[in-house]
Structure 1
Amino acid sequence: MAHVLYGIHGTGHGHAMRGLTIARRLSQHNFLFVASDDATKVLEREFPVRRLPNLGTVFHNYKVDFSATIARATPLLLKQQGYIRQALSIIDEFKPDVCMTDLEYFVPRAAERAGLPCLTLDHQHVITCCRHCLPPGMWADALLQGITPRWLFRPTSDNLIVSFYAPPVLPRCKARVAPPILRDSVLALSSGDEGHILVYQSNSIHSNLIDFLRRATDRLCYVYGYRRAEGREGNVVFMKKNEEVFLRLLAGCAYVIQGGSHTLMSEALHLGKPILALPIGAMVEQRLNALYVERLNYGMQADIRTLTPDMLKKFEGHLPAYRAAIAAGNFCGNEIVFGLTDAFIKSGALPLA
């Protein structure tokens, strides 16, 4: 049995659920998580968690709020040596054999100082460890926004990227790409088509979406992410967070309308659901996800500010083609990822392809 110190990005549930799924499956090893914010609530029900703050992005009006993001990051970066010392104290106490990170800032830096192997396991490093053929309008944003995964959350010596698309790995990076990790609760679902639309917004809210749904379709639209009480406005039904209900609606929907979250995209594709992606413009990872959804014919991308009923009619007209393309894909890499992660934990190195 090896001891694994695992740093998890705290915002949202996707990173935490990925770490939880890995730790559950590789239960022969002893995991200690370092996390903050939402992630601690997910992880501490089953595993020990130490709290350390982490860098994060602030959103407002469907945009990245750069001033608020910088304001949040600055005090953490000014005090980073103290937080790294805290992480080193955890290492001294826990005595891990290896470390892992899912977009967490301090654990990989402490691991480097302690001379411990550290595996980056996330999706975000598809930006910096892989080669992409980008449209002209994305190059400048990719260079600018790639600063975060390239420098702040820089790749470690070993990198395992989970992704529903598999661009080629850059020669300079020691990295592998595997299909996504899916939760057991998702793998247990049976997919059907009850005709409704599942709508999910996690990072930022835009009122134009609700107006669009009411004008563009008569289908029932179950909407998650809006900070308001449950209720109904015409065909739009506002929902509170409830994983069991959410997964039932996901399994039974005709298709998904969402931002650019890779986790939900992967789960939707596994269940055969086409995607209408509405990425946040200043989030290059979301824009990449939406770009590949469209390129692989799994759905369509659009700008939330300029949605029209004709656009939705066009999207729905292509649903059979989207479903056929999705049916040919592989969106569950659990066994591959578990095997590679276990090999890293045992040897301190990621096996090369």
Structure 2
Amino acid sequence: MKILYGVQGTGNGHISRARAMAKALAEIPSVDVQFLFSGRPESEYFDMAVFGDYMVRRGFTFYSYAGKIDRVKTVLNNNIWHVTQEVKALDACQYDLVISDFEPITAYAAKRQGVPSLSISHQSAFKYDVPKQGQNMLDKVIMRYFAPTQHSIGLHWYHFNQSVLPPIIDLAPIASVSSNGAILVYLPFERLEEILGVLQPMNIPFICFHPDCQQVTRAKNVSIRPLSKAAFQDALMACEGVIANGGFELPSEALSLGKKLLLKPLAGQFEQLSNVATLDMLGLANTMETLNVDVIKQWLSCSECQRVSYPDVAKALAQWLAKRDMSSLPLLHQELWSQVVFPEHVNELLSDFWPNHQRKHAMFNMRLPVISNKKAKQH
């Protein structure tokens, strides 16, 4: 079985998820996978050995500045004609299946050439009736047409009685998890100088990974490090908590390791707004709208978050793909969610609001709170 696997390269979360899938698919001799990445320059990819002889295309990307989406720069720096040429030039007919993790070149090449296609992504979860916040008509159009496929598998932290699967996580041995008291900070869309200005007044150690950093350095109590998969994983395994934007993969990894979370969504990005609101509602993370010393200090005083136990979704998905039986997806859904174990306080919250479906969605019409005192006490 030959698979063309397209990955959106604008976010490291997509790549991290693809790493887990690459390892799982490599364990199946009957499957041969070719990876393609788009959305960032080839020179900006790192730690890519697991993907073998991967391909890179320009594709589409987005731009941000100071924690906000820069819509003007995003429009001006994306070339639809160039992307169309990349789609036409890609030969998808040699593959039995095209998988897209929100990657448009492979998705449209498969559609154009009549090759079976499947999306496996967090974005696909928003096609279902899951909590959404800040979504406008443009967001709906992007979700529907950015990387369209014949079939889709969405990934989310909770199923919300929809056909979505638990997160794909590059699982690490739980025995190696510890807590050294440091806080891991990953805010790639914020300006580094602004991050340092907020963290330095506090008398605790921070480890900050940022794309603007070229070599390891220190600024008072903040260790500043360049992006590195191995170094980042080591810091994540050993930290006490994580401060991050509102992506999907890093919070999933942190929850699976029992690390407490403080999340600041990227302004203007409905997916991040929805992610942060969902985790806040489930009692699994605290939130802030802006970088704020007082909010961070309040969060630091909270006790450690309890761990969410997720199964090895990548392995299960790889085995399911090898069987080529789309009709068995409901069984896979049931099997995986039956293995998820939430902390007790999450089960209590779910039992409180789940019976009233309308009330659950009404919660997401409210303004995103700076931080929830109720959740802080539960943590």
Distance apart, 1:240 and its partner CA:
2.2
Distance 1:308 1:242 in 2: 27
What CA deviation, in whole Å up to 9, does each residue of 1:88-114 have, x standing for no partner? xx224xx11111111111222221232
Aligned position for 1:220: 205
Distance apart, 1:196 and its partner CA:
0.9
Specify which of 170, 179, 191 is matched with residue 183 of structure 1: 170
Q: 1:68 to 1:82 in 2, by over 3 A?
A: same
Kept after mapping to 2: 8 A contact 1:16/1:42: no
TM-score, normalised with respect to structure 2 = 0.77
Aligned position for 1:318: 302
Kept after mapping to 2: 8 A contact 1:127/1:146: no
Q: Give the aligned residue type for 1:235.
A: N
Distance apart, 1:18 and its partner CA:
2.3
Gaps of 5+ in 2: 332-379
Aligned position for 2:355: none
Alignment of 1:1-353 (within 5 A): 2-27=1-26, 28=29, 29-36=31-38, 37=41, 42-43=47-48, 46-73=51-78, 75=79, 77-87=80-90, 90-92=91-93, 95-132=94-131, 134=132, 138-139=133-134, 141-154=135-148, 156-169=149-162, 176-183=163-170, 186-187=172-173, 190-205=176-191, 207-215=193-201, 217-225=202-210, 227-228=212-213, 229-305=215-291, 307-309=292-294, 311-320=295-304, 323-324=305-306, 327-330=307-310, 332-343=312-323, 346-347=324-325, 351-353=329-331
- Residue 7 of structure 1 aligns to a residue whose secondary structure is strand
Kept after mapping to 1: 8 A contact 2:218/2:224: yes
- Residue 26 of structure 1 aligns to a residue whose secondary structure is helix
What CA deviation, in whole Å up to 9, does each residue of 1:13-72 have, x standing for no partner? 332332232233223211112223358655466423233221111111211111111112
What CA deviation, in whole Å up to 9, does each residue of 1:217-266 have, x standing for no partner? 31101111152453222211211233333222211111101111211111
Distance 2:157 2:105 in 1: 28
Which stretch of the first structure deviates more once superposed, 329-338 or 274-283? Answer: 329-338
Q: Give the aligned residue type for 2:330.
A: L
Aligned residues: 324
TM-score, normalised with respect to structure 1 = 0.82
Structure 1 residue runs of 4 or more that deviate by more than 6 Å after TM superposition: none
Distance 2:174 2:321 in 1: 23
Which stretch of the first structure deviates more once superposed, 33-42 or 102-111? Answer: 33-42
Kept after mapping to 2: 8 A contact 1:8/1:104: yes
Distance 1:226 1:20 in 2: 20
Q: 1:203 to 1:69 in 2, by over 3 A?
A: same
Kept after mapping to 2: 8 A contact 1:341/1:350: no
Gaps of 5+ in 1: 170-175
Distance 2:277 2:102 in 1: 22
What CA deviation, in whole Å up to 9, does each residue of 1:287-314 have, x standing for no partner? 1221122111112010224x132x2333
- Residue 112 of structure 2 aligns to a residue whose secondary structure is helix
Distance 2:327 2:150 in 1: 9
Distance apart, 1:204 and its partner CA:
3.6
Kept after mapping to 2: 8 A contact 1:34/1:49: yes
Q: 1:152 to 1:166 in 2, by over 3 A?
A: same
Q: 1:55 to 1:143 in 2, by over 3 A?
A: same
Distance 1:253 1:32 in 2: 35
User: Percent of aligned pairs with the same residue?
Assistant: 20
What CA deviation, in whole Å up to 9, does each residue of 1:161-205 have, x standing for no partner? 222233343xxxxxx322222225x34662111111111122342
Kept after mapping to 1: 8 A contact 2:153/2:164: yes
